[in-house]
Amino acid sequence: MSEVTASQKHPKGLWVLFGTEMWERFNFYGMRTLLTLFIVNSLMMSKEDSSLIYGGFLGLCYLTPMLGGFIADRFLGNRYCIMLGGLLMAIGQMLLFFSASIFSSNLDLAKTLLYVALGIIILGNGFFKPNISSMVGSLYPKEEKSKLDTAFTIFYMGINVGAFLGQFICPMVGDVVNADGTRDIFAFKWGFLAASIAMMIGTITFYLLKDKYVITPEGKPIGGLPKNNDASDFEEGEATSAKFSTKSIGIAVVAFVVLTVVFNQLFGQNWIYSIIYGSGLTLAGLILSDTSLTKIERDRILVIYIVSFFVIFFWAAFEQAGSSLTFIADNQTDRNFFGWNMPPSMVQIFNGIFVVAFAVPFSMLWDKLRAAGKEPTSPFKQAVGLLLIAVSYFIIAHNVKDLGNSGLLAVKWLVLLYLIQTFGELCLSPIGLSLVGKLAPKRFASLLFGVFFLSNASGYALAGTLGSILPATGEQFTRAEEAGIDLQAVLDKTVEPTGKDLFLLAQFNIAKIKNESLEKELKPIIEQNNKMIETSKKENENFKLDREKLTFPSVDTLTKIESEKTIVAANPVFAGFEIHNLFEFFMVFVILCGVASVILFMLTPTLKKMMHGIK
């Protein structure tokens, strides 16, 4: 009933954009459920590397909207960018399908296809993401901008209907468990194929319906070529184009290079993460250098920047769903859900379910509070979102505290975590989109959405860094024990592992090979052992690992590994602190998000003044 009422109050174009975004999110979130599991189980890469790839991929997905927003604002317009982006993402998913089809016969080519596919998806997302979001705000006349919080919450529900469908269908066809309890590592390709088909459906939907429904209240097409814009599309007295001087652009280029090098050399970030952080700061500074900005516009843009900074910490915690939380669901969780053993990749589905269930109630709550004159400001809502995610990790931290190395976390605690995080997400993400839509000068609309998504990108990059410090979990202790290694003693440095022990820990992606030439030497041996183990598991469902049947490097190489410690098995370290267990790992997120929430609460009165009457 509430959805019917909403459709009467909102233009039909909102539902076209809702549907287009729904299929795109099916494609994105469906692939996301499988990506790290595919990298670890099929491409034989470590969890640490998969988390860094995952964080870099997500970060770049939200870096390229800066490029997509610029091209849309200056050259192609929103419509053409959305269709181009959708086509590129469908192609990228198809390349993942091919990667997952050939890895057993050509692992190197499969890895190459993985990186090419992710690159194409990143570029496509950059064209798609900022442009469809900026079109939502253009559907409403100036006097109805107060509806944008509600409109973006409805739009956000579309995002999560798609997320739910993708997180259900892609794991069902792509994360398959055999009768003996082992994972079918050849099934991932069907999940990627489903994601590609979904993206094609979304692109075709937009193409067929855009001209009829994606229009202004006066009937003019939204998101056409920029050259067709006229003064009536802008606020009275507002400049119709950005005015960047040659000097400011030159300074921005130099600043980008310097910041990227600083993040890489001084803060130890990889080049992808350094580019993401450097781009965000550079673009923010470039926009403020525009000579046409009024004081009010500048203040409102600064509010977007400040809020965007705090959003980083939310997404760094929230996006553990696709990396560390998926590995925990896989390795150390009892996934029995009312008698059904859920695939680990499907546990993420609860976030999509809860958003679909609660998006409209949250939308109604904001409407009711607004009518009563009690609606909190957008920054206050976002501070609540940060607080909620801190609470969710505090609860999960105390439930893993006494698990040890072999205990299993009840899946209900992950369900509760996703419920609380969903409430936090509904207070933060659609409200942030709405805030940008209300505060951004029209000539900067897509570009400032690009800035907002750059904060997401930075959050995802930080998520990858934090996900990579996940300590060893249950399955890794079990595999080490099967190989005759006391992993806890090795990590606590109470025993000195032999060269064979260190090689086996690297074989199981528990230890890190620090020497590049050694890694090349060991790679074929590790691949040979993996194939032998996989074949043995297929032939014997009661397979037990016998380390004497494995192939080892030469005695000289093993002696060198032991003496020079070129393979390292140690607890991860973050900000100078060693992370010994899951409790300490989750408390990192409690502290980061809790502190960010308190600071944002304190800044809310100041930000309210800087918004100059916009609520």
Q: What is the 3-state secondary structure (H, E, C) of 369-433?
A: HHHCCCCCCHHHHHHHHHHHHHHHHHHHHHHHCCCCCCCCEEHHHHHHHHHHHHHHHHHHHHHHH
Domain range summary for the chain, segments of one domain joined by +: 11-225+291-471+583-610, 475-570
pLDDT at 7: 41
Q: How far apart are CA 22 and CA 18, in angstroms?
A: 6
How crowded is the C-beta side of 528, counted as CA atoms within 13 Å?
10
Asked whether 82 and 20 are in contact (CB, 8 A), the reply is yes
Query: Residue 341 has what pLDDT?
Result: 86
- CA–CA dist 486, 569 (Å, integer): 12
Q: What is the pLDDT of residue 94?
A: 96
pLDDT at 397: 95
Exposed, middle or buried, 176 (CB in 10 Å: 0-12/13-18/19+)? middle
State the average pLDDT for the chain.
85
411-439 burial code (b ≥16 CB/10 A, e <16): bebbbbbbbbbbbbbbbbbbbbbbbbbbb
Most confident of 89-103, 127-141, 569-583: 89-103
**Mean pLDDT, residues 402-429 taken together:** 91
| pLDDT at residue 4 tops 70 | no
CATH code: domain 11-225+291-471+583-610 is 1.20.1250.20
Strands 409-410 and 333-334 turn out to be: parallel
Which is nearest to 226 in space by CA: 454, 61, 450, 447? 447
Pairing assessment for the beta strands 573-574 and 577-578 based on DSSP bridges: antiparallel
Given a cut of 50, whether residue 22 has pLDDT beyond it is: yes
pLDDT in tens, 198-208: 999 999 989 99
Nearest one of 131, 73, 442 to 293, comparing CA atoms: 442
Helix (H, G, I), strand (E, B) or coil at 335: coil
- What SS3 state is found at 571? coil
Q: Which residue has the higher pLDDT, 334 or 509?
A: 334
Q: pLDDT confidence of 3, banded at 50, 70, 90?
A: very low
CB of 418 closer than 8 Å to CB of 412: no
Q: Note the pLDDT of residue 339.
A: 85
> Residue range 389-412: average pLDDT?
91
Q: What tens digit of pLDDT does each residue of 206-239 get?
A: 999 888 887 777 777 776 776 665 555 555 555 5
The whole-angstrom separation of Cα 537 and Cα 305 is 53
Most confident listed range (101-115, 234-248, 267-281): 101-115
Q: What is the mean pLDDT of residues 174-185?
A: 78
Q: Which residues of 440-468 are buried (b: 16+ CB within 10 A; e: fewer)?
A: bbbbbbbbbbbbbbbbbbbbbbbbbbbbb
Give the mean pLDDT of 537-547.
74
Distances (CA, A) of 184 to 29, 172, 175, 329, 344: 21, 12, 7, 17, 13
| pLDDT score of 80 | 87
- Token pair for residue 276? 């993401």
Percent of the chain clearing pLDDT 70 (strictly above):
93
Interhelix angle for 324-331 vs 474-482, to 10°?
50
Least confident piece of the model among 183-192, 437-446, 466-475: 437-446
> Burial level of 339, CB count in 10 A (0-12/13-18/19+)?
exposed
Please say whether the beta carbons of 60 and 231 come within 8 A: no
Burial letters for 575-596: b for 16+ Cβ neighbours within 10 Å, e otherwise? eeeebebbbbbbbbbbebbbeb
Q: How many CA atoms lie within 13 A of 395 on its CB side?
A: 17
Report d(CA 363, CA 373) in Å as an integer.
15
- Residue 145 is predicted with a pLDDT of 59
The residues that bridge with 215 in the sheet, in sequence order, are 221
Encode pLDDT of 121-139 as tens digits.
Answer: 999 988 887 788 777 777 7
pLDDT greater than 70 at residue 102: yes
Regarding pTM above 0.95, the answer is no
Beta bridge partners of 418: none
Rounded-to-10 torsion of CA 113, 114, 119, 124: 100
